[in-house]
Amino acid sequence: MPIVCYTRTMLPFLDGLNDFKDKITEKIGVRFEPWPVLIIGLLFFVISFIFMPGVVSLALSISLFLAPLWLPLMLIGGVHKIWYVFNRSEFIASKKYILIEIKPPRNLVKTPIAMEAFLSSIHLTGGESTWYQRFTGGIRPFFSLEIASFEGKTHFFIWMRSDLRRLVESQMYSQYPGVQMVEVPDYTRVISADPKEWGIWGCDFKHTAAAPLPIKTYVEYGLDKIQEEPEQVDPLANLVEFMGSIGKGEYVWLQFVIRAHKGEKYGVSPGANVSNRLNEKGKPYTWIDEAEELIGEIRKKTRDPYVDPITGEERPGFPNPTKGQAEKIAAMERNTSKLGFDVGARGVYLAKQENFHPPTIGHLIALFKPFSTEGWNGINSTAWMKRFDDYPWEIGVEKKKDLYRRKMIEAYRRRQFFYDPFFQGGLYAKDAMIMSTEELATVYHIPSLSVESPSLGRIQSATGEAPSNLPT
């Protein structure tokens, strides 16, 4: 795995410039690159030097005089970050990874509750508990839960470190007896995915609201209770049917790169394994703390002030939330009471140039609409190819698109989201979703027999071990 370190690593203000650029794009719909800002800055410097040479010279002199103070700090900080990028990249590259296909039996009747139990078993936080482990590049395990359609045939996969195979298989078999788990070649490397030969479009996905507020989960679909078979509604049915609808020469890939949540989203220093932002108790700030703040804000808004008849002072009163507000509070409490994962979601549509079907892009963008609820949380598409607005004044946009296409495919192949070597074009780790096991099990689970899509390959019968008393 090559080690790629960007200038932004040593110049943190570039991250601020990039965030400012993204905010401008979101608010006014105009995308621009950082280089025009740099050119304008240089022109401003030249003009200032022409009209105010004394002031500019004085400023440069002070900067050079103070260089022994600020320059070493900047260089040390940059080298510190690069060191961790290097060590982590080396650690990730040193591991062997495998791709396991999950083949469900035809008579599977499990609900997403089974997948939630499986996800809880792979919520692993080890590997970076000491400063030495972090210093040497150690990271906690991350997985990739994947759904892929090859010309209309839908498959379920899980990508992992090979040394975790025994754990993953045993926990999957315990919840889904009868499934087959088979190691297969990496489908992402079977085709070239060269932008010159393939039409490629893809995006990342992120929450539309604060992470503690849940999406529409299988609980809202009633799958946490026993249902009659004809009445079962699988929230994944729409996604499976979409993937089965593509034609010859077309491919749709979807991945959820996951790791146990430990708070990095809320602020992290180089080499830290948890958030360096602390809550009121002095512990790392996590999504549980964010939930408490959101709940506190709702309760504060619902207080009806009143005047004390004795003192005449105005008092805040007791919380009096509406039914909707009470349900939102209960949902956040239920959501954050479960184990949480950092989740980086990414979708890619590929097709031979002659088979590329542009309307499929619209389906990919709206892939998670069934899990969105007005006033609650949702999942929306962003980044990569969605950054481009195709305005006529955008210069060199086609070369930029091809660059993003190559990087996006490489990021998908590496199952890269939380760690370097690169992030150009995609979301940063700080933009990752935080999802409970309940939410994650809703968007990724093995469909039951209620999903009758012909695109979903199932084995004819469940598999199991031979009887212990079988004569030999």
pLDDT digits over 281-324, tens only?
Answer: 888 899 999 999 999 998 888 877 766 777 777 777 777 788 88
For 343, list phi and psi in degrees, rounded to 5: -130, 125
- Of 335, 407, 342, 345, which is closest to residue 376 (Cα–Cα)? 335
From residue 274, give the alpha-carbon distance in Å to each of 9, 15, 127, 264.
19, 21, 13, 5
Q: How many CA atoms lie within 13 A of 426 on its CB side?
A: 31
What integer pLDDT is reported at residue 6 of this predicted model?
A: 41
Where is 65: in which H helix or E strand?
helix 53-65
Q: Which residue has the higher pLDDT, 301 or 94?
A: 94
Assign 3-state DSSP to the chain and report helix, strand, coil percentages, each to 5. 40, 15, 40
Helices then strands, counting H and E runs in the chain, come out as 14, 11
- Of 102, 82, 86, which is closest to residue 94 (Cα–Cα)? 86
Of 84-93, 137-146, 297-306, 455-464, which gets the smallest average pLDDT?
455-464
Q: Which residue has the higher pLDDT, 130 or 377?
A: 377
Q: Is the pLDDT of residue 464 over 60?
A: no
Cα–Cα distance measured from residue 286 to residue 246, given in angstroms and rounded to the nearest whole number: 40
Give the pTM. Answer: 0.85
pLDDT tens digits for range 410-463: 999 999 999 876 677 889 888 899 999 999 999 999 988 777 776 776 676 555
**In 107-180, which ranges are continuous DSSP H helix?**
112-121, 131-135, 165-175
Cα–Cα distance measured from residue 441 to residue 456, given in angstroms and rounded to the nearest whole number: 18
Torsion of CA 131, 134, 139, 140, to 10 degrees: 0
Where is 372: in which H helix or E strand?
none
Cα–Cα distance measured from residue 162 to residue 90, given in angstroms and rounded to the nearest whole number: 17
Q: Which residue has the higher pLDDT, 378 or 110?
A: 378
